[in-house]
Structure 1
Amino acid sequence: MAHAAEGGLDGTKLSLLWALPFAGILLCIATGPVLYHHLWEHHYGKFAAFWAALVIVPLFFVTDATTVVHTLSHTVLLEYMPFILLLLALFTVAGGIYVEGNLHDSVFTNTVLLGFGTLIASVVGTTGASMILIRPLIRANDDRRTNVHVVVFFIFLVSNIGGSLSPLGDPPLFLGFLRGVDFFWTTVHIFPETLFAAGIVLAIFMVLDVWLHHREGNFPPKKDPTPDSPLHLHGKINLLLLVVIIGAILMSANWKPGITFTVLGTPLALQDLLRDAIFVAVTFASLWLTSPEYRKANDFTWGPIQEVSLLFAGIFICIVPVMAMLQAGAQGPFAALVALVSHADGTPNNAAYFWLTGILSSFLDNAPTYLVFFELAGGDAKTLMASGAATLAAISAGAVFMGANTYIGNAPNFMVYAIARDAGIKMPSFFGYILWSGAVLIPVFLVMTWVFFI
């Protein structure tokens, strides 16, 4: 994307019309699963192709073919492919880990499961942690009269906030890693914010769960459809494969042999090619070494990763001219946005970065939203990790935490919603869920702003 500007796509000469395909594809992703579910389910790939074509075709008319090809190859080979291959590996590995059995419902059990899920989300990803733990949590609470809150807080913590401590946790952070952010940077710099947010939200859950348990004690108990039984973890080989994934990422960050291969004008470093090859190898190894019955028990299908791969192919193409315009800074079409996230003296307004990144991540996809504000903050990872650390922390926290504000803020949210609904839980509507997040999360984020970003 940096190559787009360097190779002739001058952001100062582009109009805001070039941002329409990016806005269009994000709007479709936000509204499709809610407003026109059946059309979206069968044709989301065509939606992505349409918006991508609205970028690619006009590019051939405003610049030369070589620049267009090199720009697109840079985006696809250096950013899209590593991104989607990591998601594929994590999705496959997590889908092979099956937790069998049923714990007895209690405030302690629920709190421990939510806390454990929050911790592992930065290791197996928010999607992986959600896939592994949502069904055991539902089984543990299926004898209760009121269990909606358990799933809602699961989305808050496991599907979102817990993924903030590593590039494995949430897609925006891996995009930051691909841009040069150190693997453990978020572990160190966002740990206080994560501990603060997760601790308060988990405490609120405990108080609410205690009250609801007490209230339910006044009614006759329901018959437990899944009696208590010991937990058994199946597919343990996938835990080792997770270690391999982490090792591959650390290898690509620390081993620099200086060997590169140029493909369509894009330099590909040996360590990055090896990392991506390991992702592919881990995917096949997980399929080969894991019993199919464990994936069947997890209701594992390839549909979600197929949808993500097609939609993000469109997103990565549509965002190219947006990045070029953002790189133009105050001289580009987004000068007003630059002013909005800056103080009068030109220093970054970290509270604005946190809330603008977060609000957009609540209704659009948080990965491209992260990229937009990362670029708006200068786009140089070394500078942002040093003098701009507070700004990068605000962008990262906003993208990851506020993905929990709506069902469409992060991919696992709607997946957990669908699983819970299929299990017979009366989940809140789209706007009903926003009432939950508004009552619980927004006050927490307001206090966070005062503590960390002002």
Structure 2
Amino acid sequence: MRFSRGAAMVALALMCLPGLSMAADIDGGSLSWAWGIPFAGILLSIALMPLLTPSFWHHHFGKVAAAWTLAFFLPFAAVFGPAVAGSSLVHAMLAEYIPFIILLVALYTVAGGIFIRGNLHGSPAVNVAILAIGTALASFMGTTGASMLMIRPLIRANDNRAHKAHVVVFFIFLVSNAGGSLTPLGDPPLFLGFLKGVDFFWTVRHIFPETLFLVGSLLGIFYLLDRWYYAKEGVLPVDPTPDTRGIGFDGAVNFWLLAAVVGLVLFSGFWKTPLGITIFGTEVGLPGLVRDAGLVAVTFISLRLTPASVHTDNQFSWGPMQEVAKLFAGIFLTIIPVIAMLKAGAAGPFGAIVSAVTRPDGEPDPAMYFWATGALSSFLDNAPTYLVFFNTAGGDPATLMTTLAPTLAAISAGAVFMGANSYIGNAPNMMVKAVAEERGVAMPSFFGYMAWSGAVLIPLFVIMTFIWFR
């Protein structure tokens, strides 16, 4: 991961500059919207370059992400000084990107060390069953863990189907997003809420009906669509995967390691201590340090204990993880001024968005919170987007869980559900896409995928608005 190492070297260089140890907050209200151009540039690059210059993008997407990052940081350092720029970079890397990528790498490695033996045949009923199981697992092992565990057997089950891209698209809708809505273990936005003081079981008590409606509707729509494709196309004359007797698991030790990942994440949330370290203005708490060290250890233990044959059978490679790591490094860094402008509230460049979520009487509007959080979560990272609107609604967990419960439910649902609207709304989306393409599935383009989400998800979100978020 050359870009990640390069970013770390830039961080180290900036750390050596005088005055960098002083934390520097960015006043988003004083920023021009033009500071968001590099962020928009990396998003457009992800959307358009695979279509316009696929070969160049395949070989140089890391360099493109690095170029947009430099297009932000060099002018930013020149205007606001190296101390402010360096402090922002260190905070983004240490407090956000590195914990994020460590968790993803651990889940990717552990899930990639479990091989589900047997050749399931991808009939509509079997596909619905796999999607339902993956969706149920997502709230307990995270959308990334469930996605990486279930996507390979799903693709293998459908490798004798002529059309299978729609199967992966609905997998992203359900397993990589909607399934993570019931606990803080499911999706990063809810985990951040848990760290802020939201009760562990609050979400399942307050958005379970919405989740049941969305999951049930998607499974029903998928079954009808897949049955039509199945009746129209049949199956290939020869199944690439030979039949075997029964279903089993290889690399079962990784189930224990998966439990360790869940335990580490949960423990870091429950463990409250003022102990920690401050690195150039960024506070890193002891629970987070222990969690991340434990996750790194779990990753190496999985690689050491997993038989090579399991990785071979799973066609395990680091390609999808490298793509996510490089692109999200650019996203996490170029998003810095965008988040600052949103945090500035009504006084900032995006004041119209913040003002739109408040009714004339000053009360929060749950419907607008649902759509504002969801719209931004479709293209920004949904975790910081959740925090922005959590703070916009007052930021007091006790009030949000009681008096403003409909508002917190709308924020939670918007962040988790609408992360499925684009490939970059949630990290597992891009990982699943990369794994599927690596196995020969012709996935929709960036805008092609959004055509699917627009046709299937948006009408369901409109219905949910009128039922639950009025």
Q: Same fold (TM over 0.5)?
A: yes
Question: Residue 242 of structure 1 aligns to which amino acid in structure 2?
Answer: L
**Hey, what does 2:355 align to over in structure 1?**
339
Superposed displacement of residue 310, structure 1: 2.7
**Hey, what does 1:355 align to over in structure 2?**
371
Structure 1 unaligned segments of length 5 or more: list them: none
Superposed displacement of residue 363, structure 1: 5.1
**Hey, what does 1:252 align to over in structure 2?**
268
Instruction: Flag the 1:430–1:23 CA change in 2: closer, same or farther, 3 A.
Output: closer
Superposed displacement of residue 168, structure 1: 4.1
Superposed displacement of residue 207, structure 1: 3.7
- Segment drifting more, 18-27 vs 426-435: 426-435
**Hey, what does 2:462 align to over in structure 1?**
446
Instruction: Flag the 1:299–1:203 CA change in 2: closer, same or farther, 3 A.
Output: same
Stretches (4+) displaced over 6 A: none
Question: Residue 345 of structure 2 aligns to which amino acid in structure 1?
Answer: G
Question: Residue 339 of structure 2 aligns to which amino acid in structure 1?
Answer: M
Of residues 279, 297, 319, the one that matches 1:263 is: 279
Partner SS for 2:278: strand
1:18-40 Cα shifts (integer Å, max 9, x gaps): 22222222332333334333222
Of residues 241, 256, 268, the one that matches 1:226 is: 241
Question: Residue 332 of structure 2 aligns to which amino acid in structure 1?
Answer: F
Note the 1:302-451 alignment, pairs <5 A.
Answer: 302-362=318-378, 366-367=382-383, 369-370=385-386, 373-374=389-390, 376-377=392-393, 384-413=400-429, 415-417=431-433, 420=436, 433-451=449-467
Distance in 2 separating the partners of 1:116 and 1:191 = 17
- Contact kept? 2:251, 2:307, Cα under 8 Å: yes
Distance in 1 separating the partners of 2:110 and 2:319 = 15
Structure 2 unaligned segments of length 5 or more: list them: 1-20
- Contact kept? 1:79, 1:175, Cα under 8 Å: no
**Hey, what does 1:243 align to over in structure 2?**
259
Superposed displacement of residue 417, structure 1: 4.8
Superposed displacement of residue 383, structure 1: 5.2
Instruction: Establish whether residue 11 from structure 1 lines up as the match of residue 28 from structure 2.
Output: yes
**Hey, what does 2:94 align to over in structure 1?**
77
Question: Residue 241 of structure 2 aligns to which amino acid in structure 1?
Answer: T
Distance in 2 separating the partners of 1:56 and 1:435 = 34
1:95-141 Cα shifts (integer Å, max 9, x gaps): 11111211245443222211001111233333433333233233434
Distance in 2 separating the partners of 1:383 and 1:242 = 34
Note the 1:206-225 alignment, pairs <5 A.
Answer: 206-210=223-227, 222-225=237-240
Distance in 2 separating the partners of 1:425 and 1:8 = 45
Distance in 1 separating the partners of 2:54 and 2:195 = 33
1:145-197 Cα shifts (integer Å, max 9, x gaps): 66554333323222322222344434444555566655554444333221110
Question: Residue 47 of structure 1 aligns to which amino acid in structure 2?
Answer: V
Distance in 1 separating the partners of 2:323 and 2:385 = 19
- Contact kept? 2:114, 2:249, Cα under 8 Å: yes
Partner SS for 1:348: coil
**Hey, what does 2:299 align to over in structure 1?**
283
- Contact kept? 2:162, 2:235, Cα under 8 Å: no
**Hey, what does 2:127 align to over in structure 1?**
110
Instruction: Establish whether residue 47 from structure 1 lines up as the match of residue 56 from structure 2.
Output: no
Of residues 110, 131, 145, the one that matches 2:148 is: 131
Note the 1:183-202 alignment, pairs <5 A.
Answer: 183-202=200-219
1:33-88 Cα shifts (integer Å, max 9, x gaps): 34333222322332333333333333434445444433333332222221111111
Partner SS for 2:138: helix
- Contact kept? 1:182, 1:253, Cα under 8 Å: no
Distance in 2 separating the partners of 1:403 and 1:88 = 20
Distance in 1 separating the partners of 2:43 and 2:334 = 10
Instruction: Flag the 1:59–1:326 CA change in 2: closer, same or farther, 3 A.
Output: same
Distance in 2 separating the partners of 1:123 and 1:421 = 27
The TM-score with structure 2 as length reference comes to 0.83
- The count of residues paired between Structure 1 and Structure 2 equals 449
Instruction: Work out the percentage of aligned pairs sharing the same amino acid.
Output: 58
Question: Residue 239 of structure 1 aligns to which amino acid in structure 2?
Answer: F
Of residues 148, 154, 163, the one that matches 2:171 is: 154
Question: Residue 149 of structure 2 aligns to which amino acid in structure 1?
Answer: I
Distance in 1 separating the partners of 2:436 and 2:94 = 37
Distance in 2 separating the partners of 1:111 and 1:209 = 9
Distance in 2 separating the partners of 1:223 and 1:76 = 49
Partner SS for 1:347: coil
**Hey, what does 2:221 align to over in structure 1?**
204
- Contact kept? 2:276, 2:284, Cα under 8 Å: yes
Cα RMSD (Å) of the superposition? 3.3
Instruction: Establish whether residue 94 from structure 1 lines up as the match of residue 111 from structure 2.
Output: yes
Distance in 2 separating the partners of 1:368 and 1:440 = 26
- Segment drifting more, 430-439 vs 51-60: 430-439
Distance in 2 separating the partners of 1:420 and 1:262 = 41
1:213-257 Cα shifts (integer Å, max 9, x gaps): 5667xx798444435422111111111111111211222222223
Of residues 30, 37, 48, the one that matches 1:31 is: 48
- Segment drifting more, 150-159 vs 62-71: 62-71
- Segment drifting more, 17-26 vs 52-61: 52-61
Distance in 1 separating the partners of 2:56 and 2:168 = 28
